[in-house]
Structure formats: C-alpha cells, structure tokens
Amino acid sequence: MTPFMHSNRAVSKVDIEEATTLKEVGVDTSQVMNYLTQQAGGYHNVGFTHKDLYNALQRGKAKEIVDGDMNALIAYFDYKKHDDPEFFMTYSVDESGALYNLIWSDSTLRSDYTCFGDVIAFDTTYKDNLYGRPIMPIVGVNHHHNTIMFATAIISDETSQSFEWVLQNFLEAMKNKSPISVVTDGDRAMQRAIKSIIPYAKHILCSWHLSHNAQANIGDPKFTAAFSKCMVSWWTTKEFDVQWRLVVSEFNVEKYPWVIEKGNIRHV
C-alpha cells in the first residue's frame, strides 16, 4: 500500500506530457490511466491514482482560461447583484491572474438553505463544460422530497484545498449556518475538507456514487454488483468487514488504488 500513500504519490512530468498528448487526440482520462497503468506493468507500479492524474491535467488546463473569460463572468454576476441584492458571489485567482475557484448563490437558494440546510450533498461529476473543470452543485431536499439547489461552485481541481475554499465560502454565504450532515461520494480530499471546515458535521457516503465509481475504477460489473450488495445489506460492522474482504479477495482487486482507498474509509 505504501506507493499509494498521499505523500508518495506524484504524476511525473513525462507521464503528464504523455497524458496531455493522448487527451489532445480525444482519449478520455480513464483510458489514459489504463494506458499508463499497462505501460508501468500494473496498478501497483504506476505510482498514482486516476484522481491524481486528473488533477495534474486540470492544473495545466486551468492556465488556458484567459482574463477576458474571467472578466465577462464576473461582470455578469455583478449585473445579477443589481436585480438581486442578496446574490452572493466570490472567487479566487492564481498567480497569473487566471480564475481559479468560483462560487455563487442567489437570494432564493440562500433562503431555502435556511429552511432545508440540515443535510447537504455535493459531488464533482459534472465536468462537461468549456474547460472541463469540475462543477460542484451543493444541493439538499425540501419538504416535498424534491432536490433543491443551495449554491454552485466551479473549481480548478479536486484537491482538499479547493474543497476547503468552497466550504469556507459556502458557510459565509449561508451566514455561518453549518449543515448537520454532508453526503459525498467518499472522496478522500473532500473528506479532509469536511473535517477541517465543518468538523461537527456527520459525513455520509452516497451508495449510488460509490457503485458508479466502483464500475469506473475496476471495470468489472460482477465486482460492482457484489460491492453494491455489501453496501445495502443490513450487516454489523464486523460482518461488513468480513464480506468486504471476501469480495476483494474473490475478484483479486487488493492492489487497485481505488479499493485500497475505499477500504481505508469503509467505516465513514
């Protein structure tokens, strides 16, 4: 497990250059990761995870955003404030002045949070935008059991620093009212940010996202089905641990970075 400890993981310059070239000809990040893994002789040799590769590529892509784009977006939000004095928006820039992180919410969303903000959920699966940046909707559920939006953020990467920035400014927008529970897909960087910024909130894992990520990272429908069954079964902690080890052993996935990571946080 040592190569996948956070302190030991790094994407080399050579790997980034090769990955960037593949991305430019239309290869998606998952396929790039599979290629680099094969080149290295297996997941235990590659030295980084899919998320590490994604973040490394995003840091390069962030530099492509020009000042004009940032200025136009900020100008639009400033215009929104004239119609909605309670409209909230804040952003950060990098050392070159390019837009780095951004979050916004309007008066209706902020009012909804006052009423329904005990439980929030957020993820960064929405990357289908001009620059491929993670879009991070922060949502909840109202008294009609409908999903409602509280705020939206666009972040430069999926690091704990970016998530901390979002949570800090989200709390500012919501007058420092902390949620009681936060539902996530189990991302470790997100988990660290939650513990840092809202330490008293209960962190709950979303089973749908975990199943989706199991398929994306392992690629075996039978493993995904067995993994999903583990999550929805009414087992004690000890019983779950036994079943988890059986599933991991049965499908011979002990050395997959995703399996190692989820094994470390299975009791969150």
pLDDT value at residue 4: 40
Q: Are residues 150 and 40 in the same domain?
A: no
Same domain membership, residue 77 and residue 119: yes
In a domain, 145, yes or no: yes
Q: Kindly give the parts of the chain with pLDDT less than 70.
A: 1-9, 25, 39, 59-70, 123-132, 264-268
Rounded Cα distance between 215 and 76, Å, is 39
In this structure, are residues 214 and 206 in contact, taking their beta carbons and an 8 Å threshold?
no
Determine how many CB atoms are found less than 10 A away from the CB of residue 182: 21
Whether 78 and 54 map to the same domain: the answer is no
Kindly state whether residues 19 and 6 are assigned to the same domain. yes
Residue 2: inside a domain, yes or no? yes
Hey, which bits of 116-193 come out as E strands?
119-122, 135-141, 147-154, 181-184
Q: Is there a single domain that holds both residue 114 and residue 198?
A: yes
pLDDT at 240: 83
> How much helix, strand and coil, in percent to the nearest 5, is found in the chain?
55, 15, 30
What is the model's pLDDT at position 5?
A: 44
| Amino acid sitting at position 228 | S
Distance separating alpha carbons of residues 102 and 162, to the nearest angstrom: 10
Domain, as residue range, for 35:
1-62
The per-residue pLDDT for 163 is: 95
Q: How far is CA 53 from each of CA 59, 62, 75, 86, 131, rounded to the nearest angstrom?
A: 10, 14, 33, 38, 16
Say yes or no: 78 and 196 in one domain: yes
The reply to whether 47 and 77 lie within a common domain is no
* Gap between the Cα atoms of 248 and 268, Å rounded: 19
pLDDT at 11: 81
Q: For Cα atoms 120, 123, 124, give the angle at the middle one, nearest 5 degrees.
A: 150
Instruction: Write out the two tokens for 144.
Output: 């009609």
What's the CATH code of the domain at 170? 3.30.420
Q: Which of 191, 145, 193, 144 is nearest to 170 (CA)?
A: 193
Whether 211 is covered by a domain: the verdict is no
Same domain, 80 and 197: yes
pLDDT tens for 31-43 read 888 878 876 777 7
Contact 183, 256 (CB under 8 A): no
- Per the structure block, which two tokens stand in for 101? 């992180």
Question: Which one of 174, 205, 236 terminates a domain?
Answer: 205
Task: Specify whether 58 is located in the same domain as 161.
Answer: no
Do 136 and 122 meet the contact criterion of CB atoms below 8 Å apart?
Answer: yes
